[in-house]
Structure 1
């Protein structure tokens, strides 16, 4: 398998900052993202671009040629609506073929769109974040896959924007999506496409809103195309071997929507939409799909890998089909516990005779998403790797840490209709300030890459004045506590010692305590076997601690799951440290009560 080169350039500036980049230059990339749709529709017209199971459970596939034809017809419909410059398209629902077609049609003719996180419509009690996103986007057209499922959210949208057209596919009292496909494209579609430049806004991706209301990250055509070229140079084999993905990651997030969806299109690959997800019910759908489709690369969040492992261990057919064409794993969104990492390597070696590489990196919504990769064998959890081609990473001292800042064609120009946040996000040299702390694995050999060193804003001092590195400590807890401990928030600001709020895996707790599936989460968490496990975990962590800055003295269990309305959890499933500490002040006080 061919990965891109990893030789780097490291320069120390007079002010103490460090410039870090890849020697390999960034190759040319398309000015417009749908140039790739045109290219593959001509080169491989009959090849499947995207597929999803229909209501009967059969794969409904769209070839590149058919995708382009439908995209152009939908684009004509959109042109007929005469969008003004301040009007956009809003998508409320999950991944689907219709979602994909509407996305490609809108960017093909230069109409900005945004996919809004479905939980804002389906899980939220007050629709606070949905209202905010809708108001910021001023939509002329709103799409939801199922009119009944999204009825409450659509009613809200209609109240806010009574003139907006609402479109759905099933259970619709609105315009049927099928009507858009009946419009014949004219030369005006190509004329609109020709006017697009690299600076034209393609989409707005909202941040999780973990530190307030979500901010809309501007994604231009050039930004998206540049990052796909950077990723393709990293995973060099994709440029000659079109990838096959089986993927559930949501398109309202940059990992699923920019990285995975984009990579399939950019390299003439095939994307099978997985309607499963890492939940007790959803994992069954994922497994069914992986029994049938052999991916060449598999992307997931750590929780997804954790839930998949028992199925791979117990199902020979699944295991053999899954590993048959697999070139690498890729995870993001949170730290992958080392025991999970080790078991994936063991299973791949048992099945294929060799370890399938596990790859990660670092990025964010503002970098579209990828900024660096550890794309080589022998990496480990926490290793971030080296910058992508064309990316300048500036490492700026902040106390005893180095903050990573980005400057590259794949970095956003700012936040949608939010000049104040845009101004605060960049330094005086135009570098985007990530807030991520990193350090070199080997100061004398920078090409060995950077490792994660926590978040600048998360770290705090104990009352003794000792700094606590939250990111590193969290990683140790999750690695040692897997699979019982699902996530953790570290407490201790201005306190004498470190405490922890633990979010547990209820199924793993029930299994440990030999309880039935009907047992409540609270009862499972409070079982003596689980309590004993947590006590032993703290002892184990304490034995490896090097001082007060790395020793957790007391932990409490959060009975209630994290709340999306309160900003405690992001779309990726990772926890927001500050929001949890704020809204669970009673648990914090319990940690420090005598």
Structure 2
């Protein structure tokens, strides 16, 4: 059967631009969109170090020349063990100007994984953010005989002992050497740029994967630059230097990396922060654009809902009404499809105060990706005056494949293809994509590459999805997440998992049942919200004892029954276990991109899962117990 190919709609604002290198995007911004406050790095005392984009351009040249002066050559590989900040951007741009391939490391990785990636990625040098991370690096640097140079971005390396084969220098020292080289040969930076081809390898990003060793995704300058120029304009009108961007997402992930390069390309003002300072910096910076992941939005909404629930009298009534109105917002309609006067009243009484509290009074667009966004959150935040647009992609696609836009947005979907990218649905429901954003392949793993890129150039995403009648893509699950019951029925777990986590009381949920007669679930309660619910319902127990309380178990039975509604009967959860902990990257149940490692979860909770199938109880009744 011939594939039905979906492409960008005629209304798309992105362009198909090929042949651009990443340094060229910065150079164009310096010429066309000069910005004295393009890069802003927070300091411990609350101040900001600010660079213009011209200063970043000069600094990148100095890093490039400094690396070459220290024996590195074009085509070599350099690893980053860095926080996601201004100095990460500098290291990124500096290596690329030099024609050096960079290999960012997940800072949450265990040492053996860090060693594997740096070794497999053939790193010869290591950029490190600060003395604390340098001390961490020192504990596993001995396992990296080919890494002979460490560059410390901030602070001093005094007191840190590195292996004898690793030479330490500061970023300032590296730049000084670069300046000296430029003084001797002023045209050298231009010569370096002339040597870069758009098809040159720019970066190796190792996908964490839910199974097996990480794979190195090879992305070229053109992979990323074409994605930037086709994808970023879909977020709304670009006013270049007038835009203020607050960024906290890890740039080891391609989502944040590509967006950051896009903001650089249009000369926008980037303010770097981290999750611990995010709330304070939102209030201070008042960004016009902001990128996040669905979990952050879920937590914000849960706190808003909790505040309304705990309010009393008129405040409670108005808040409940305003939240209910927001959920009715229809993204497909310009006016949201709700009463104009009611929305105006809700905005005056509730939504405007919420925007002010969140520091989002100026925001025009919030882009989200990396995981599924609940439809009710997209609707509610947009009604609040905080427009949410969700996109879709993978590391292997640089990453944007599809994107909702502020004017073409559908809740529960991930949008339409961006310019230059083709999307099709295979016979088994798998999403396929083709375009200039598709990776070259997996580093030193042609067999793995051949498994995902077919002879026609289609990249097989591993996700299952479908297009709506009006051309918007919906993701239903990961292909590997599907499982088959002993009855022969196939189960897609994500819809019911999403339904379960709509409750503020449920932080995470995993549906299981492969080769079993029925589905069960591991439910990870929100142990911040649950005690508040318990107090409001006269339950005085705490900790794990709280999960054994009959009233609490009854509430979770109700939530499971509610989530089951509308699901195929064979995919409904018949039993569940409440787990008094969370899946995290640290306990290796989540990947660094926050995807569930289902195999690891099944192994970690084998006994709890087994008891759900061996307990002699009526399968029509939900059974809750602590795992």
1:170 is aligned to 155
Which of the residues 6, 14, 22 maps onto 1:33?
22
Offset of 1:512 from its aligned partner?
2.0
Tell me if structure 2 keeps the 8 A contact 1:293–1:321: no
Q: What is the rounded CA distance, in whole Å, between the counterparts of 1:318 and 1:341 in structure 2? A: 15
* Residue 390 to residue 346, structure 1, CA distance change in 2 (3 Å): closer
Q: What is the rounded CA distance, in whole Å, between the counterparts of 1:86 and 1:35 in structure 2? A: 18
Which of the residues 42, 55, 62 maps onto 1:66?
55
* Residue 524 to residue 347, structure 1, CA distance change in 2 (3 Å): farther
Tell me if structure 2 keeps the 8 A contact 1:506–1:525: no
Which of the residues 450, 458, 476 maps onto 1:431?
458
Tell me if structure 1 keeps the 8 A contact 2:254–2:395: yes
Which of the residues 99, 119, 122 maps onto 1:138?
122
**What secondary structure does 2:203 align onto?**
strand
Q: TM-score, normalised by structure 1?
A: 0.86
**What secondary structure does 1:589 align onto?**
helix
TM-superposition CA deviations, 1:187-227 (whole Å, max 9, x none): 32221221111111111111123211111111110001000
Alignment of 1:185-224 (within 5 A): 185=182, 186=185, 187-224=187-224
Matched, 1:180 2:202: no
Offset of 1:48 from its aligned partner?
1.6
Q: What is the rounded CA distance, in whole Å, between the counterparts of 2:304 and 2:560 in structure 1? A: 31
Offset of 1:162 from its aligned partner?
6.0
Tell me if structure 2 keeps the 8 A contact 1:329–1:358: yes
2:90 is aligned to 101
* Residue 116 to residue 524, structure 1, CA distance change in 2 (3 Å): farther
Which of the residues 299, 306, 326 maps onto 2:363?
326
**What secondary structure does 2:480 align onto?**
coil
Tell me if structure 2 keeps the 8 A contact 1:16–1:397: no
Matched, 1:577 2:598: yes
Q: What is the rounded CA distance, in whole Å, between the counterparts of 2:491 and 2:552 in structure 1? A: 27
Matched, 1:395 2:431: no
Offset of 1:588 from its aligned partner?
1.6
Tell me if structure 2 keeps the 8 A contact 1:291–1:318: no
Offset of 1:80 from its aligned partner?
1.0
TM-superposition CA deviations, 1:109-135 (whole Å, max 9, x none): 210001111111xxx3xx221121011
Q: What is the rounded CA distance, in whole Å, between the counterparts of 2:67 and 2:249 in structure 1? A: 27
1:21 is aligned to 7
1:257 is aligned to 257
TM-superposition CA deviations, 1:19-44 (whole Å, max 9, x none): 22125584335521111211222334
RMSD, matched Cα: 2.6
Q: What is the rounded CA distance, in whole Å, between the counterparts of 2:201 and 2:402 in structure 1? A: 24
1:88 is aligned to 77
1:156 is aligned to 140
Tell me if structure 1 keeps the 8 A contact 2:465–2:477: yes
Offset of 1:459 from its aligned partner?
1.0
**What secondary structure does 1:202 align onto?**
strand
**What secondary structure does 2:437 align onto?**
coil
Q: What is the rounded CA distance, in whole Å, between the counterparts of 1:368 and 1:217 in structure 2? A: 10
* Residue 529 to residue 109, structure 1, CA distance change in 2 (3 Å): farther
Tell me if structure 1 keeps the 8 A contact 2:434–2:457: yes
**What secondary structure does 1:225 align onto?**
helix
**What secondary structure does 2:477 align onto?**
strand
Q: What is the rounded CA distance, in whole Å, between the counterparts of 2:458 and 2:543 in structure 1? A: 45
Tell me if structure 1 keeps the 8 A contact 2:36–2:52: yes
Q: What is the rounded CA distance, in whole Å, between the counterparts of 2:7 and 2:379 in structure 1? A: 30
Which of the residues 453, 462, 468 maps onto 2:476?
453
* Residue 329 to residue 44, structure 1, CA distance change in 2 (3 Å): closer
Tell me if structure 1 keeps the 8 A contact 2:496–2:564: no
Tell me if structure 2 keeps the 8 A contact 1:485–1:503: yes
Q: What is the rounded CA distance, in whole Å, between the counterparts of 1:318 and 1:473 in structure 2? A: 31
Residue range with higher mean Cα deviation, 320-329 or 190-199: 320-329
Offset of 1:577 from its aligned partner?
2.4
Q: What is the rounded CA distance, in whole Å, between the counterparts of 1:435 and 1:46 in structure 2? A: 41
Select the structure of larger CA radius of gyration: 2
Matched, 1:305 2:297: yes
1:483 is aligned to 504
Alignment of 1:398-417 (within 5 A): 398=428, 402-417=429-444
Alignment of 1:364-379 (within 5 A): 364-377=394-407, 379=409
2:281 is aligned to 289
Q: What is the rounded CA distance, in whole Å, between the counterparts of 1:216 and 1:307 in structure 2? A: 32
The answer for unaligned runs of 5 or more in structure 2 is 159-167, 308-351, 616-627
**What secondary structure does 1:394 align onto?**
strand
**What secondary structure does 1:118 align onto?**
coil
2:372 is aligned to 335
Offset of 1:158 from its aligned partner?
3.8
Alignment of 1:540-579 (within 5 A): 540-549=562-571, 551-564=572-585, 567-579=588-600
* Residue 450 to residue 82, structure 1, CA distance change in 2 (3 Å): same
TM-superposition CA deviations, 1:477-535 (whole Å, max 9, x none): 222xx2221221110111111111122222122322239xxx98545544555423211
Tell me if structure 2 keeps the 8 A contact 1:228–1:263: yes
* Residue 512 to residue 371, structure 1, CA distance change in 2 (3 Å): same
Residue range with higher mean Cα deviation, 172-181 or 261-270: 172-181
Q: What is the rounded CA distance, in whole Å, between the counterparts of 1:413 and 1:548 in structure 2? A: 41
Offset of 1:542 from its aligned partner?
3.4
* Residue 240 to residue 170, structure 1, CA distance change in 2 (3 Å): closer
Offset of 1:323 from its aligned partner?
3.4
Q: What is the rounded CA distance, in whole Å, between the counterparts of 1:523 and 1:134 in structure 2? A: 45
Tell me if structure 1 keeps the 8 A contact 2:77–2:100: yes
Q: What is the rounded CA distance, in whole Å, between the counterparts of 2:203 and 2:30 in structure 1? A: 23
**What secondary structure does 2:442 align onto?**
coil
Offset of 1:338 from its aligned partner?
4.1
Offset of 1:337 from its aligned partner?
3.1
